[in-house]
Amino acid sequence: MIDLRSDTVTKPSPEMREAMRQAELGDDVLGEDPTINRLQEMIAKLTGEEATLFVTSGTMGNQVCINAHTQPGNEIIAERYSHIFNYECGSPALLSGVQVMPVNGANGSFTLEQVRELIRPVNVHHPQTRLICIENTHNRAGGTIFPLDKIKKISGFAKTQDIRMHLDGARLWNASAAAGISIQEYCSHFDSVSLCFSKGLGAPVGSIVAGSARFIERARYYRKAYGGGMRQAGLLAAAAIYAVNHNFNRLKDDHRRAKYFAESISTIPGIAVDLTTVQTNIVIFDVAGSGLDGPEIVRRLHQKGVGVSSFAPTKIRAVTHLDISDQDIQQAVSAMHEIFKIN
């Protein structure tokens, strides 16, 4: 199976498994796992932040950060189609007691002017705007990169309003690789950041949050409260260390393959692809013009040994990753042409 459903489907390489086997272990809740400590120090340097905290998933990372920044009754701002608003089980309300004010972005990003309009005035009737969340890259927009100039403007304004900034950087690795902007430069404009190891970097489990030392102490409390305190979890940290050291620099290969796939299927009648949104490793295409719906295309591709995911009634997502080769992409393109009878 050529599995383009997500970059979460990657499996550890033999070399990564060996790194896991050799990991030194200790009790991380007590701060005594040497491999987790090494990972946390490594990512602190990479992000330029004072401290970091290893967590089980991107969702946990985001929610720990929201909880640490807010108090019940606050409001946070997030893009309408962001992961935090759509795919985290309503956890801002469930776990932090805050509500989300969605902003209608364009290809996953929004402007300072839009933020200004959504900031709540000081009034007994309103919740306090406490946090602005940005997703980079943006999943549902097709792996698009949130422009750095927009981030700088929003961050600068947030500081004047005593509003915190959080970066859902699950795929920030991809944004950095594609834009040529360092992880540290992106992170410097936020009060907290969540980074994922189990997507494009290919680790089996794990994310990390970064911020000030004081903030991370609060985050550590919420991680424990969520049941996220792990013991000898250096096995997972070893995989994350290997992933950063060996798989970060190869992400451009995934981006190249995604672009080739998008350009190749864009010539098929009935298939619509906005090529301007194919900036990293995600391709979203619309099959409405073909007379078939998304689930039917997914089924037919599966029969031909290609896995993709239905993203909406007529939209399909394909994601490249380290387990996908040039030959795999060529076969996926051929399968698309066969389905639509293109020679």
Give 141-187 pLDDT, tens digit per residue: 999 999 999 999 999 999 999 999 999 999 999 999 999 999 999 99
pLDDT at 340: 85
pLDDT at 318: 98
Q: Give the relative orientation of helices 326-339 and 251-265 as an angle to the nearest 10 degrees.
A: 20
Number of domains in the chain: 2
Same domain (yes/no): 145, 215: yes
Q: Does 331 score more than 90 pLDDT?
A: yes
Domain contains 4: no
Strand boundaries in 145-191, DSSP class E: 164-169
Same domain (yes/no): 35, 162: yes
Same domain (yes/no): 287, 325: yes
Same domain (yes/no): 232, 323: no
Q: Which two structure tokens, joined as six digits, stand for 21?
A: 């086997």
Q: Give the relative orientation of helices 251-265 and 172-179 as an angle to the nearest 10 degrees.
A: 80
Same domain (yes/no): 16, 143: yes
Same domain (yes/no): 52, 158: yes
To the question of pTM greater than 0.75 for the whole model, the response is: yes
Task: Summarize pLDDT for 23-77 with one digit per residue, the tens.
Answer: 999 999 999 999 999 999 999 999 999 999 999 999 999 999 999 999 999 999 9
pLDDT at 312: 84
Same domain (yes/no): 159, 242: yes
Same domain (yes/no): 169, 127: yes
Share of the chain above pLDDT 70, in %: 99
**Residues 146/109, Cβ–Cβ less than 8 Å:** yes
Dihedral of CA 48/114/274/298: which sign?
Answer: positive
Domain contains 3: no
pLDDT at 199: 96
Same domain (yes/no): 273, 148: no
Same domain (yes/no): 256, 318: yes
CA-nearest of 65, 177, 76 to 129 is: 76
Same domain (yes/no): 188, 145: yes
- Residue 299 sits at the vertex; the CA angle it makes with 293 and 304, to the nearest 5 degrees, is 130
**Is residue 342 very low, low, confident or very high in pLDDT (cuts 50, 70, 90)?**
low
Q: How far is CA 186 from CA 31, 254, 336, in A?
A: 28, 21, 37
| More reliable by pLDDT, 240 or 291 | 240
Q: Which two structure tokens, joined as six digits, stand for 40?
A: 């946390």
Share of the chain above pLDDT 90, in %: 96
Q: Does 343 score more than 70 pLDDT?
A: no
Characterise 41 by phi-psi region: left (phi > 0), alpha (psi -120 to 50), beta (else).
alpha
Domain of residue 330 covers 250-339
CA distance 265 to 317: 13
